[in-house]
Structures are given as C-alpha cells and as structure tokens.
Amino acid sequence: MTAKAINNAASDHELAKAAAQGDTEAFETLYERHHRRVYSLCLRMVANATEAEDLTQEVFVQLFRKIGSFRGESAFTTWLHRMTVNHVLMHFRKRGVRLEKTTEEGEIGELQDIVQSSGERPRFIDRIALDKAISELPPGYRSVFVLHDVEGFEHEEVADMLGVSVGTSKSQLHKARMRLRDLLNKKI
Amino acid sequence: MECRATARSLSDYLDGWISADEARSVEAHLTGCPACRSLKMELTELKNAARELPLHTPSKAMWARIINEIEADRSGQWQPVGEDAGEGTWWEKFKSRRFSFSLPQLAGAGALAVAVAVFGYSSLDSPGQTGRLNLAGARTAVLPDEDQLIREFDRRMAAINARKASWDPQMRADFESQMNRIDQSLSKCRQMLNEKPDDKVHQEMVRSLHKEKIQLVNDVERLKW
C-alpha cells in the first residue's frame, strides 16, 4: 500500500497527529479533504474570490502551525471551521467591516413582502442563484446566514463568534432570510 | 395573531426557537392565511437550499502556495518579526498593508517598469546571451520543458496585452494580483529548485504554476475581457 493510499484511509485525527510531526503528505491529504469547504466558507463570507483565496491560504498555513494543538475533543471539521470563521472575522476587523446591528422593528417591509408572495406552491430554489443572492447581502446578515443556515452553527455559537447577543443573531438571521427571498423573487 | 407578527416569528418557528404557546398561535394564523403559509414554505425551502449549496474550488496553485509558505516557515527564511510575531510571515504583513502613492510617484514607477521591461526583453533577444533576465521570477528556464511553457504564456499574454488598458480597473487589479501571487509562488519554487535541482515535487510545482498562468490568461481570453 502506498503512503498516499495509507493517508487516504486514515482519519482526520490520525492525519492531524502525523502533520503535527511535520508530515506534509498527511497535511496534503487533510488539505485535499477540506480545502473546498474552507474556500467556500471564506468565499461566502467575504463575497470576493481573490480575498477568499488569500484567506484560505492563510487558514491552511495557520492550521499547519497550530495543528499540534488539536486534541481530538471535537471533530476536526468543527475545529477547522471554527478556525476559518475566526480568521475571516479577524480579516473583517482589520478591514473595518461593520457588521450591521438591527433593531427590533427592522427595516425590511415584511408585510409588503408577504403580499408579494409567489403563491402557495413550493418553488425550487436555484442553488447558484441563492449563492449569488448571498453575496449581495450586507456583511452582517451574510455572516449570520452563512454561519447558521449554511454551516449549521447554533445561534449561541454564532452570537459568541460575532460578539453579539443571541437575540441579535436570531433577528439578523430572519432579516437575512427575508432579504434573500426578496432578492430571489426579483430574479424570477 | 396578525400577518406582521407571524412573519416576524416564522424564522424562530422554523428553527424551533419559540414556546409551544407561540407555536400554536403561529399555526392557527397559518391555517387561515394563504400568504403567510406561502411565506413559510418559501423560508423552509430557503433553509433547506442553504444546506445543499455547491462547494467552490480555489485555483489549482493554492496547494503549491501553501506548501511553499510552510516550507519557507520551516526553513526559517521568513521568520515572523515584531509585536504580532505569531500572526504570520513578513510577506503576509506586507500584503495586508495599504499603500498609497501620489500621481508623480506612480508616473515615475510606471516609467521605471517600462524601462525594466524594455531592457529585459531586449536582453532576451540579444544574440550570444546565455542567461535570461528574471522577470517576475519566471523567465530563466530551470527545467528542460520550461522554455516551451514560458513561450506559450508569452504568446497568449501578448494577445490580451493590447486590450488590458481598456479593462475595468477592478478587473485589472484582480488579474494582476492573481498573476503576482502565482509569480511569487513560482519564484519561490524555482529558488528551491536551484538549491535542489532534482526535487521532483518542486519540478512538478513549477510546471503546474506555469500551466496555472496560462490557464488564467485562457480564462481571460474566454471571457472576452
């Protein structure tokens, strides 16, 4: 069995342990397994392919430096995604991106949106159109939507990562969904 | 419960974040309100679609850039310095800085760049010249088949050079930033190859980075920028 085949059969935890000993082939296998999800997460959060590439590169370099601190208490994927989110948020802070705060009343005309509803039949949402619509959201809504609905983090985790209250996270998620629905309906 | 209140509670309802009493109120309203029922269906579909979004793929040169940076880190070539020593290499810090230049400075830099390019290309054409000027770290062939890749790139690049001036500035900046990144990696790989000429991994990386440059120009050509 070749080294590559052995690596392919190994768990993330085993590969992380090997990479922590300096095994770059094991690290490459981890990269092959996870780079698309890390890049997709970065791309959806920053909505810019060049920045997303830079961030993905930085995340994996940072991952290699810190991989020895992975103890296997959580899934490797969760650990890596958390590291990625923190890195993107750090990037936002450096760039001075403001994650907008929402009020209880909100600025989206929800009632009007309901009236403009497209009927009761379920509608197939084009995934590519949804991806494009996500990129058009303001950064704060986009972050909450990507973290909660795309990545599956809970509101407590989202609030913790973004430094907002759980109430704000929930409120921003609802507004993000309503804005997305609006954007998707406009494209039909 | 009226429509506005129902609409506001729908996300929490779908995520299971409201009390049983509130859920009953929402359900009672939904039974008699087709518009809110439709909104609920749309939000449900949106929520489901979000979990099934396709994954995106970064450029093929990404791994080469990462492993180069790791190798450089390990060999101590680019040790982090200063207060944020744990944050990244000097190159990362350099990249993250924002520079601004005055018009005369830019004009001077442009003139210098043109002079270097003219000198570089004239040096390439000089008869009897054994070496080649290293422009963007990609001009001196270190592999037997590298010249062919460089010529292929130059040929394609010449085709789009004439149009480049008319591109949208953001597009041009994106293109140049992408090309610079590949050139940086290429330069580092070639540096490694100069030290270890038989290193198969770096030989392959150099070829792959040249192909990446050609691919980038092909993409530009295909999109008719």
Summarize pLDDT for A83-139 with one digit per residue, the tens: 999 999 999 888 776 666 554 444 444 444 554 555 555 467 788 899 999 999 999
> What is the predicted pLDDT for the residue at B133?
31
Summarize pLDDT for B140-156 with one digit per residue, the tens: 677 888 888 888 888 88
pTM, full prediction: 0.61
Report the gap between the CA of B37 and the closest CA in chain A (Å): 7
Check if B7 contacts A (Cβ < 8 Å): yes
| Token duo for residue A11 | 């768990």
Are A181 and B46 inside 8 Å of each other by CB?
yes
A28 chain-B contacts, CB cut-off 8 A: 63, 67
- Choose among A54, A131, A177: nearest Cβ to B43: A177
Summarize pLDDT for B187-218 with one digit per residue, the tens: 878 887 887 787 777 787 788 788 888 878 87
Q: How many CB atoms lie within 10 A of CB A163?
A: 10
Check if B95 contacts A (Cβ < 8 Å): yes
Are A145 and B53 inside 8 Å of each other by CB?
no
Distance CA A168, CA A174 (A): 10
Average pLDDT of the segment spanning A18-36: 94
For residue B110, what pLDDT band results from cuts at 50, 70 and 90? low
- Choose among B35, B59, B74: nearest Cβ to A115: B35
Task: Tell me if residue B165 falls in helix, strand or coil.
Answer: coil
> What is the predicted pLDDT for the residue at A169?
94
Report the gap between the CA of A27 and the closest CA in chain B (Å): 9
ipTM confidence: 0.83
- Choose among B17, B47, B174: nearest Cβ to A149: B47
In chain B, the N- to C-terminal Cα span, in Å, equals 54
3-class SS shares of chain A: helix, strand, coil, % to 5: 75, 0, 25
The structural domains of chain A, ordered by start, are 3-95 (1.10.1740.10), 110-187 (1.10.10.10)
